Amino acid sequence: MTFSKCILAVALSAAFSMAAHAAVTAEEAKQLGTTLTLVGAEKAGNADQSIPAYTGGLTTPPAAYKSGSGIRPDPYSNEKPLISITSKNMAQYKDKLTVATQQLLERYPDSYRVDLYPTHRSVALPKFVTDNTFKNATGASTTDEGVGLKGAHAGYPFPIPKTGNEVMWNHLLRYVGQAYISKFDSVVVDSAGKATLSTTGEITQEYPIYDPKKPVKLPQPTPTSDSKSNIWALHAVPVKAY
């Protein structure tokens, strides 16, 4: 909430005299759905296909899914690891492992391993999100040196970003549904492996921009408008601290 308010407050308090950063051209936007996915990722896989090409993602829930349960079952639960990295073969993959992972493999050779599974690009987005993202490519723009936003529909505002600010707007307005609630535990683990629960709490994330009852296009900001309420809200409530 604080970060979102901060960048938007700067935008709303400015005089709006600075030129907006231009959106991409119609020719550039043709990459979406061809060489790029509809939200701007590289559509093709990598050279050895360890990262596959994007083909649309999963559009039906796994067979184990139960409506209303709040639990998302693993759609790839039957897969077996392609490789298991242990202390015995870790040297072969050393350039792919962090220093911490290497130390864990060495310290716990009998109980710690790293399993590598096939990579999947399983995300599928609602059509209104991809349609609006395509509109945003040529219609959305930043103002006030990147900290303001205008002309954005309910989708990713900059599928072909040109600046760091545009990338950050994509993150702030990423589609994860209209809202969700998650519970969390923060645990401190010392070098001996002793775990101590430090905090437990609940986070509510809301994305009013994706509320079907609101306009699909953000209002043009004015010095008195409250456009921040149309974008993003975060509520983190520590239930108990130990």
Q: What is the pLDDT of residues 23-69, one digit of tens each?
A: 799 999 999 999 999 999 999 999 999 999 999 999 999 999 999 88
Does 171 fall in a domain?
Answer: yes
Share of the chain residues as helix, strand and coil, in percent rounded to the nearest 5:
25, 20, 55
Does 21 fall in a domain?
Answer: yes
Does 162 fall in a domain?
Answer: yes
In a shared domain, residues 110 and 196:
no
In a shared domain, residues 35 and 131:
yes
Whether 157 and 138 have beta carbons less than 8 Å apart is answered as no
Does 60 fall in a domain?
Answer: no
Does 75 fall in a domain?
Answer: no
In a shared domain, residues 100 and 131:
no
Between CA 9 and CA 169 the distance in angstroms is 14
Give the Cβ contact number of residue 148 at 10 Å. Answer: 24
**10-residue averages of pLDDT along the chain (242 residues):** 44 42 86 97 94 95 89 93 97 96 95 96 94 95 90 93 95 89 90 90 87 62 44 58 54
Between CA 73 and CA 61 the distance in angstroms is 9
SS3 32: strand
In a shared domain, residues 34 and 138:
yes
pLDDT of 94 reads 95
The half-sphere exposure of 230 on its side-chain side, counting CA atoms within 13 A, is 20
Between CA 82 and CA 101 the distance in angstroms is 18
**Domain stop point among 91, 116, 141:** 116
In a shared domain, residues 198 and 101:
no
Residue 165 carries which side chain, given as an amino acid letter? Answer: N
Between CA 232 and CA 148 the distance in angstroms is 14
Between CA 158 and CA 210 the distance in angstroms is 16
The predicted model scores a pTM of 0.75
**Domain stop point among 101, 116, 131:** 116
pLDDT of 192 reads 85
pLDDT of 171 reads 93
In a shared domain, residues 203 and 132:
yes
**What is the domain extent for residue 158?**
2-45+123-241
Work out the percent of the chain whose per-residue pLDDT is above 70.
79
Does 200 fall in a domain?
Answer: yes
In a shared domain, residues 143 and 188:
yes
pLDDT of 1 reads 42
* H-state helical runs in 84-220: 99-107, 127-139, 164-172
In a shared domain, residues 141 and 196:
yes
Does 50 fall in a domain?
Answer: no
SS3 126: coil
In a shared domain, residues 165 and 107:
no
**What is the number of domains present in the chain?**
2
Helix-then-strand count for the chain, H and E: 5, 7
Q: What is the number of residues in the chain?
A: 242
